[in-house]
Amino acid sequence: MCELLGMECNVLTDIVFSFAGLSARGGRHGPHADGWGLALYDGPVARVFLEPAAAADSALASFVREHPIKTLLAIAHVRRKTRGKVTLANTHPFTRELWGRHFVFAHNGTVRNAFELPLGRFRPMGKTDSEHAFCALLGALHHEFKDTPPPRAELAAAIARHAGKIGKGGTFNMLLGDGDQLYARCSTKLHYLVRKAPFKQATLADEDVSVDFAAVTSPKDRVAVVATMPLTRDEVWTAGEPNTLWVFRGGKLANTLAS
C-alpha cells in the first residue's frame, strides 16, 4: 500500500513539515520506496514534482523541503507498488485538466476492476489501476456535467457518488484536488486534523523534528492536514469512517458525505 498526504488552508502555507514526515516513510521509516510526488496549487494550476525513487533518499525531495513553496492546496504521495512498474508514468499524484483547471489525484489501495471501467475522454499514460480509476472518475464527472463546471456542492456530491461506485471494486482511499477544494475519501484508513488557534508545538511521529506553530502563524490561520496515518505524535487526529468523503475548504472540514 501507499501513503497519502493532503493539505488545504485558508492562507498561503508551505507543506515542508508534513512532507518531511511523509518523505521519511518513503524508504526510511516505511516500505514506500517505489516513487514519490508532490502537487502544489497556484490558483487552478498545479505545480507537480514526481520521481520514481525513494523520497527518503531523493535529492529532489530534499530540494523541495529546503525551498518552501507556499500554497492553499497540496497533495503528496509515497508509493509502494502493487500494479505497474516503478516508472515516472506510474508515479502519483496524477494530473488532468477539466473545466480549465488541474485535477490532481493520489490513491492508496487496489481497485481490482479498474481496467474495466469506462474512461470517457481521459486516457492513462501509465499502467496502474490508480490512474485508470482517476481517468474513470473524471470521465464520469465530465459525462454528468459536460463542459460546464457544477456548483461546489453538486461537484462534491458527484465525486462522492462516483468514487463510491469505483471503490466497490477494491480499496479506494484517495485524495482529489481541483485548486478550490480538497476531497478525501476513506475506504479503509485515513486521518485528518485542523491546526488553528491556539497553536501549539507539533512533533513528527517518526522523526525528532518539531515546529512551534504559534511562532509561525497568525490567530486567523487554519490548516487542514489529511494523511493515511497520523504524521505527528502530539496532536489529535480524527480517523475516517469507511466509505465516507471529506470535503475541505478554507482550512476546515466543510462537509462529510457518504461514498
User: How far is the first Cα of the chain from the last one, in angstroms, to the nearest whole number?
Assistant: 21
Is 2 annotated in the active site? Answer: yes
From 2, 9, 135, 186, active-site residue = 2
CA distance 43 to 45: 6
DSSP label at 197?
S
Q: Residues with Cβ < 8 Å from 198, sequence gap 6 or more?
A: 214
The cell numbers describing 227, all together, are 494523511
Beta strands in the chain (DSSP E): 3-13, 36-42, 45-51, 71-78, 94-98, 101-108, 173-177, 182-186, 191-196, 201-203, 210-212, 222-227, 238-239, 244-249, 252-258
CB 163 within 8 A of CB 247: no
- Residues labelled catalytic: 2
